[in-house]
Chain A
Amino acid sequence: MSENAAPVSSSRQIAVTINGTLYEREVEARKLLIHFIRDDVDLTGSHIGCDTGNCGACSVIVDGTLVKSCMMLAVQADGSSIETVEGLADDGELAALQQAFSDHHALQCGYCTPGMLMSATALLRTNAHPSEAEIRKGLQGNICRCTGYWNIFEAVKTASERVAK
């Protein structure tokens, strides 16, 4: 190995802030971020729906960017700040988006909801008043097999209107 080379190792000490709390753990390089969040940190709100990057149930926001946490290694999140669905409510009070999901019955089984909420949160941050087409494009990485999406679109629209007031 060359001088000054970056270390090559099968595990690594990482420090990650999740919803404002710092977690320091030794993780294997092969561990996916979703497994770190669910198994190591015990934040089980983010779901594993498909494990193949298709369904979006594991979506979280890493340093302000929406990602599928099953397509990122935990070691890659070292030093980052992560937001998961557990961070949306403020001291037990639902965020406007969560309340709108409840009001519009935007979930049935609820399995996809954590990912939907994170994708919609990311969308509304960059586009406070999305058109229906923009809502559809913003949520295209998230699959729901129950609702037919309509109530989800309505909820996101309502949340954007309520926040505007």
Chain B
Amino acid sequence: MLLREVEYAKPSSVAQALAILSENDGARALAGGQTLINVMKARAASPDALVDLSGLEELRGIELGADGTLSIGPMTTYTELVGSAEAKARPILGEVCAQIADVQVRNRGTIGGNLCSNDPTNHLPPLMVSIGAQLTIAGRGGERVVSADEFFLGVYLTAVGPGELLTKITLPAGKRDGFAAVTLGVDGTCIASAAASVNGSLRIALGCVDATPVLLQPASADEGAVREAVRGAGLFPPADVHASSEYRMHLAEVLAVRAARQASERS
């Protein structure tokens, strides 16, 4: 399929990328392209210019701090996260990335692209919310740090504004995480998902039931408490060909229980 005509730039620094993004209204960052190029084929997105971030080494890599904090460059691919010794400090990350799509997509798709596209069926937004990740956003005016709770604003919409880039993902130390999903085929698109993390208290984030991940903080990881928290969240999940609203609601409850159990059973 032929894409609409598009301009292309491959900056060699984040500063250059920010300059191009802020000086060209219709410019959009191109990360791994495993979502963006496809939606461009369908004309669901039609950027005037693509700013290819693949040359920016400063946006790559995984660092493990002495206190167990993980700092991840947004251009790090799923495959790199699956294979990284450092990323094993938070084992759920590689486990979930290994469930995304297929080998080819994991080889090019990036954690930053997954978060910034914020498709409600994406795996990583709920996981970042349950973990309590911090997202660093850079603009020409400087940097700011946003918590995952405040990063996801709507379908395909995040706190990364025009002329800005996500430049770092920071995960606090911890291993007690869980993730459960019902997908279209093995490793397919999520119909419903839930991520859970125990770090002092329990945080559960539900995916696919609203425009952004829904954070729940039940008093305990007991099945009854988790089910009650999901039921009491006032959800009205979307319906589509894969699941009715009621069925998605049912899945959310079951998956929240599974994810919470996995998180609490892990040491």
Contacts and interface: CB of A to CB of B under 8 A. Distances in A.
Nearest to B49: A8
Interface string A1-40: 1101111111010000000000000001111100000000
Contact of A30 (B6, B23, B42, B104): B6
Interface stretch (A68-76, A84-92, A100-108, A147-155): A68-76
Contact of B103 (A2, A7, A8, A140): A140
Given A72-B37, A140-B102, A141-B105, A8 B20 contact: yes
B144 to A, nearest CB: 22
Contacts of A123: 103
Contacts of B33: 71-73, 76
Nearest to B36: A71
Given A6-B9, A29-B8, A66 B20 contact: no
Contacts of A49: none
A156 interface: no
Interface string A106-123: 000000000000010011
Contacts, number: 109
Nearest to A58: B104
B244 interface: no
What range describes how many residues of A lie at the interface? 35 or more
A57 to B, nearest CB: 11
Interface string B12-26: 100010011001100
A30 B41 CA distance: 10
A114 B7 CA distance: 31
B34 A71 contact: yes
B5 A10 contact: yes
A67 B23 contact: no
Contact of A6 (B16, B37, B54, B187): B16
A30 B103 contact: no
Nearest to B17: A6
B54 A76 contact: yes
A28 B9 CA distance: 12
A141 B104 contact: yes
28 contacts: A5-B16, A5-B20, A6-B10, A6-B16, A6-B20, A8-B49, A9-B7, A10-B7, A10-B8, A29-B5, A30-B4, A30-B6, A31-B3, A32-B3, A56-B102, A66-B107, A67-B104, A71-B105, A73-B37, A73-B50, A75-B10, A75-B52, A76-B33, A76-B54, A119-B104, A141-B103, A141-B104, A142-B102
**Which 3 residue pairs are nearest across A and B when measured between Cβ atoms?**
A141-B102, A29-B8, A30-B3
Interface of B: 1-12, 16, 19-20, 23-24, 27, 33-34, 37-38, 41-42, 49-50, 52, 54, 101-105, 107-108, 186-187
Interface of A: 1-2, 4-10, 12, 28-32, 51-53, 56, 59, 65-68, 70-73, 75-76, 119, 122-123, 137-138, 140-142
Given A1-B19, A30-B3, 16 more contacts: A4-B16, A5-B11, A12-B8, A29-B5, A30-B2, A51-B41, A52-B41, A56-B102, A65-B108, A67-B104, A71-B104, A75-B52, A76-B54, A123-B103, A138-B103, A141-B103
